[in-house]
Structure 1
Amino acid sequence: MTSESLSPAATQTFSPEPRVASPKERHLGSGQFIRLGSLFALLLVFIYFSCMAPGFSALSNLANIVEQSATLALLAFGMTAVIIGGGGDVIRGGIDLSVGANLGLCIAIYAVSEAAGYSDVTAFLLTLAAGLAVGALNALAVVGLGVLPLLATLAVMNICAGLELVLTQNMVISSASPLLAWITAADWLGLSVTSWSFIIIGAVMLLLVHRTPWGLRLQAVGGHREAARAAGLRVPAYRAASYLGAGLLAALAAILQAARLSGSSPGSGDILLSVVLTSLMSVVFSRRLLPSIGGTILSVLFIGCLINGFQLLNVSSYWVNGVQGLLILGIVALRSLSDRPGVA
Structure 2
Amino acid sequence: MSANADSLGDGFNARPSSHFAARAGRNFAAASLRAGSYLAFAAILAFFAWHVPFFLSIGNVGGVLGQSAILGVLAIGMTVVVIGGGSNVVTGGIDLSLAANMGLSAAIYATLIAAGFPDWTAAGGALVTGVAIGLVNAVAVTRLHIVPLLATLAVMNIVAGLELVVTQNTVVPASTDFLSLLSGYGPLSIPILAFVLVAFTLVAIVIVQYTPLGLRLYAVGEFPEAARASGLSVDRVVAGTYVASGLCGGIAGILSVAYLSGSTTGSGDMLLPVVVTALLGVVFSRRLVPTIGGAFLSTLFVGFLINGFQLLNVSSYWVSGVQGVLILAVVAATSILRREGTRP
Q: TM-score, normalised by structure 2?
A: 0.92
Counterpart residue type for residue 20 of structure 1 = S
Q: CA deviation at 1:186?
A: 4.5
Comparing 269-278 with 151-160, greater Cα deviation is found at 269-278
Is the counterpart of residue 328 in structure 1 residue 311 in structure 2?
Answer: no
SS in 2 for 1:270: helix
- Give, in whole Å, the separation in 2 of the partners of 1:265 and 1:287: 37
Is the counterpart of residue 125 in structure 1 residue 133 in structure 2?
Answer: no
Q: CA deviation at 1:282?
A: 1.2
Comparing 34-43 with 286-295, greater Cα deviation is found at 286-295
- Give, in whole Å, the separation in 2 of the partners of 1:125 and 1:216: 30
Question: Which residue is equivalent to 1:179?
Answer: 178
Decide whether the 8 Å contact of 1:83 with 1:93 is kept in 2: yes
Comparing 333-342 with 122-131, greater Cα deviation is found at 333-342
Decide whether the 8 Å contact of 1:186 with 1:193 is kept in 2: yes
Question: Which residue is equivalent to 2:258?
Answer: 259
1:47-126 alignment to 2 at 5 Å?
47-126=46-125
1:275-314 alignment to 2 at 5 Å?
275-314=274-313
Distance 1:29 1:343, change over 3 A: farther
Is the counterpart of residue 19 in structure 1 residue 14 in structure 2?
Answer: no
- Give the ranges of 4+ consecutive aligned residues of structure 1 lying more than 6 Å apart after TM superposition: none
Distance 1:52 1:156, change over 3 A: same
SS in 1 for 2:122: helix
Distance 1:20 1:266, change over 3 A: same
Deviations 1:108-146 (A, max 9, x none): 001111111111111010000000000000001001110
Question: Which residue is equivalent to 2:317?
Answer: 318
- Give, in whole Å, the separation in 2 of the partners of 1:204 and 1:334: 30
Structure 1: tracts of 5 or more residues without a match: 1-6
What RMSD over aligned residues (CA atoms) do the two structures have, in Å? Answer: 2.1
SS in 1 for 2:269: coil
Decide whether the 8 Å contact of 2:59 with 2:188 is kept in 1: no
- Give, in whole Å, the separation in 1 of the partners of 2:291 and 2:204: 10
Decide whether the 8 Å contact of 1:99 with 1:246 is kept in 2: yes
- Give, in whole Å, the separation in 1 of the partners of 2:86 and 2:23: 18
SS in 2 for 1:173: coil
Q: CA deviation at 1:188?
A: 3.5
Decide whether the 8 Å contact of 2:26 with 2:340 is kept in 1: no
Question: Which residue is equivalent to 2:238?
Answer: 239
Counterpart residue type for residue 191 of structure 1 = I
- Give, in whole Å, the separation in 1 of the partners of 2:341 and 2:84: 27
Counterpart residue type for residue 274 of structure 1 = P
SS in 1 for 2:87: coil
1:100-249 alignment to 2 at 5 Å?
100-249=99-248
Work out the number of aligned pairs and report it: 335
Deviations 1:234-273 (A, max 9, x none): 1111101110111111111111111110001211342000
Comparing 265-274 with 133-142, greater Cα deviation is found at 265-274
Q: CA deviation at 1:54?
A: 4.1
Q: CA deviation at 1:90?
A: 2.6
- Give, in whole Å, the separation in 1 of the partners of 2:153 and 2:267: 18
Q: CA deviation at 1:51?
A: 0.4
- Give, in whole Å, the separation in 1 of the partners of 2:288 and 2:184: 40
Q: CA deviation at 1:45?
A: 0.3
Comparing 240-249 with 286-295, greater Cα deviation is found at 286-295
Comparing 88-97 with 40-49, greater Cα deviation is found at 88-97
Counterpart residue type for residue 229 of structure 1 = R
Structure 2: tracts of 5 or more residues without a match: none
- Give, in whole Å, the separation in 2 of the partners of 1:324 and 1:247: 24
Q: CA deviation at 1:285?
A: 1.2
Decide whether the 8 Å contact of 1:172 with 1:264 is kept in 2: yes
Q: TM-score, normalised by structure 1?
A: 0.92
Q: CA deviation at 1:168?
A: 0.6
Percent pairwise identity: 48
The answer to which structure has the higher helix fraction is 2
- Give, in whole Å, the separation in 1 of the partners of 2:17 and 2:85: 36
